[in-house]
Structure 1
Amino acid sequence: MSAPYASLIPADADRLSLYLARIGLASPVEPTAEGLAILQRAHRMNIGFENMDVMLGRAISLDPDAIFGKLVMGARGGYCFEQNWLFGTMLAQMGFANRPLLARVWLGLSEDAPASPLTHTFRLVDLDGEAWIADAGFGGSYVPPMLLADGATAHTSDGAQHRITRHSAPGSLWGEWLVERMGPAAATDGRATAPGWQKQYSFNLNEVAPIDLELSNHWTFTKPETRFTTAWIASIVLEDGFAALNGRRLSMYAGGRGDVMEIAHAQDWRAMLADLFRVELSEDEVAGLKVF
């Protein structure tokens, strides 16, 4: 069962103001490319990507109140279906026309791997008639907002480059568009191990219905022997880098340097989640995770 996060929302809540306070912004951004970049980066630096509820055996609800209560009021994070629902809703309140897309994640897979399921969601944003992608919920690295155009590129403060290429026909099983990354492997969650450009995810521009998101979300938090149901995962964007957690293993990339350490004690692990990833768990929840 899911936790009662919706009950954390005040009855008279100004949700946009609460969201902006959560991500450290004093006021709404303008519906421009610059505003989109500011908002997405603030979101990723203040709301950690994490799957702890999955590992506690809780269902991941896509109910709007449950997501807002958890990520904004509950000092928790979530994965893409939660993160990008919240992000898309707040974008709309600030005048950004946007809708969800679904993607196949390729990060960490071999070149001859079969097609992965559609288990990632992000946002397609209209900026004065131009299509952009925006993603506040990709846990593997930081994917910045990008113009949807063949060969479009973007740089991030961790020294990485991202690009979009059109590599298949519209509606292709493999996805019409491909997002790739080239940059420090230490500024990822550990799945980027080879040099050069690496596939992140591919997608089409097909309309996505709410039931499509429900189906993909349900698979993601229930499928046995997958990444989200077998490992304790968290990540967050840093000022000039990235931090990622896999079980007791913490990796950090900042100032051009990568460090890896093992967290030896449950109380240190809990404090690290709160201080670094901005994810607050109770002592009982940490015990229930059975990381130690």
Structure 2
Amino acid sequence: MQAQLTQKQEVAQPAAGLDLDAYLQRIGYTGDRQPTLATLQLLQRLHAETIAFESFNPLLRIPVLLDIDSLQQKMVYGGRGGYCFEHNLLLSHVLKTLGYRVRGLAARVLWNVPEGTVKAISHKLLQVEAEGESFLVDVGFGGLTPTGPLQLVLNAVQTTPHEDFRLIESGGEWVLQAHVQHAWRPLYRFTLREHLQPDYEMFSWYLCTHPASFFLTSLSVARPFPGGRFGLRNTVLTTHWLGRESEQCELTSVADIRRVLRENFRLTLPDHPDLDATLQGLIDAAAESR
């Protein structure tokens, strides 16, 4: 399986509207700006630990816009997060501006999907070249977002600041696995076929409009931190600690959810008239299910 970028495969120029200084300030990056592996490693970790995965726009029926101006206004200037298309598109603009060669890829999610089930393509990831090697870079997979680039090689256990990962081959495709609770679990499968902006626009629109889309009915928020990960699924806050048992608690008021989103996930919440009612709806649904 060939993972190396070639000159013919190099893609679009960096977005003219990117405010690189503002992005780097947002994630707290003050280091070297040369397109090295060390720079890539630090950018990926800081991005993931600073800009949360969150799905408020689909839940509140706010359009998810993928142009660079909208991405920056929301995630850089506005203190918000986003989901995979937003995170990885923003990072791809940054990396291209810094001089990396980047291609957009797409994946079918396998995480928590029954074996044998075929899901639609619904996840964006990046192939990035640094120091003559190709890496998988992904800052938008929610609760198990890799916090370091993964070399595109098969069957090698790769350490990140959080979990170990590996890439295996299955049916001619790459499969990303994470080592979680003493077992290798698949996250998604993908090929190295390049995908472009119109593809991601279509995938994102599907997730924001299809009646069966998880994002229309559920809230998902995640952010790694040194030593663990925070995850919020509707009203359940989970703290995953590296090397010890996870902790869970149920949030039973809108004020509690707002506080956790602000303190644990470092989010500025959308200024939307239906926000509190939507959060209360999640609380009511959780109470009814108990």
Same fold, TM-score > 0.5, yes or no: yes
Equivalent residue for 1:287? 276
Specify the SS of the correspondent of 2:64.
coil
Specify the SS of the correspondent of 2:183.
coil
Distance in 2 (CA, whole Å) between partners of 1:264 and 1:125 is: 42
Number of positions where the alignment pairs a residue of Structure 1 with one of Structure 2: 262
Specify the SS of the correspondent of 1:71.
helix
Could you tell me which runs of 5 or more consecutive residues in structure 2 were left unpaired when the two chains were aligned: 1-16, 284-290
Equivalent residue for 2:250? 262
Counterpart contact for 1:167–1:178, Cα < 8 Å: yes
Distance in 2 (CA, whole Å) between partners of 1:34 and 1:130 is: 13
Percent identity of paired positions between Structure 1 and Structure 2: 29
Corresponding residue to 1:183 among 180, 183, 199: 180
Specify the SS of the correspondent of 1:60.
coil
Corresponding residue to 1:222 among 205, 209, 214: 209
Cα distance, 1:14–1:230 mapped onto 2, change above 3 Å: closer
Distance in 2 (CA, whole Å) between partners of 1:140 and 1:108 is: 12
Note the aligned Cα RMSD (angstroms).
1.8
Could you tell me which runs of 5 or more consecutive residues in structure 1 were left unpaired when the two chains were aligned: 1-12, 170-175, 185-194
Specify the SS of the correspondent of 2:141.
coil
Tell me by how many angstroms 1:253 deviates: 1.6
Counterpart contact for 2:178–2:187, Cα < 8 Å: yes
Counterpart contact for 2:27–2:46, Cα < 8 Å: yes
Equivalent residue for 1:162? 165
Distance in 2 (CA, whole Å) between partners of 1:107 and 1:274 is: 27
**Residue type at the aligned position of 1:155:** T
Corresponding residue to 1:275 among 259, 263, 275: 263
Deviations along 1:160-201, one digit per CA (max 9) or x if unpaired, are 2200112233xxxxxx111001124xxxxxxxxxx5111101
Tell me by how many angstroms 1:34 deviates: 2.1
**Residue type at the aligned position of 1:225:** A
Specify the SS of the correspondent of 1:250.
strand
Deviations along 1:217-255, one digit per CA (max 9) or x if unpaired, are 111111222322221110001101111001110000235
Specify the SS of the correspondent of 1:111.
coil
In the alignment, structure 1 residue 252 sits paired with structure 2 residue 252: no
Counterpart contact for 1:56–1:288, Cα < 8 Å: no
What are the equivalent positions in structure 2 for 1:117-266 lying under 5 Å apart? 117-143=120-146, 144-158=148-162, 160-169=163-172, 176-184=173-181, 196-254=183-241, 256-266=244-254
Specify the SS of the correspondent of 2:144.
coil
TM-score, normalised to structure 1, is 0.84
Distance in 2 (CA, whole Å) between partners of 1:142 and 1:83 is: 11
Distance in 2 (CA, whole Å) between partners of 1:277 and 1:25 is: 19
What are the equivalent positions in structure 2 for 1:42-121 lying under 5 Å apart? 42-113=46-117, 115-121=118-124
Distance in 1 (CA, whole Å) between partners of 2:203 and 2:236 is: 28
Equivalent residue for 2:287? none
Distance in 1 (CA, whole Å) between partners of 2:249 and 2:30 is: 35
Counterpart contact for 1:29–1:39, Cα < 8 Å: no
Tell me by how many angstroms 1:94 deviates: 1.5
**Residue type at the aligned position of 1:286:** L
Counterpart contact for 1:146–1:153, Cα < 8 Å: no
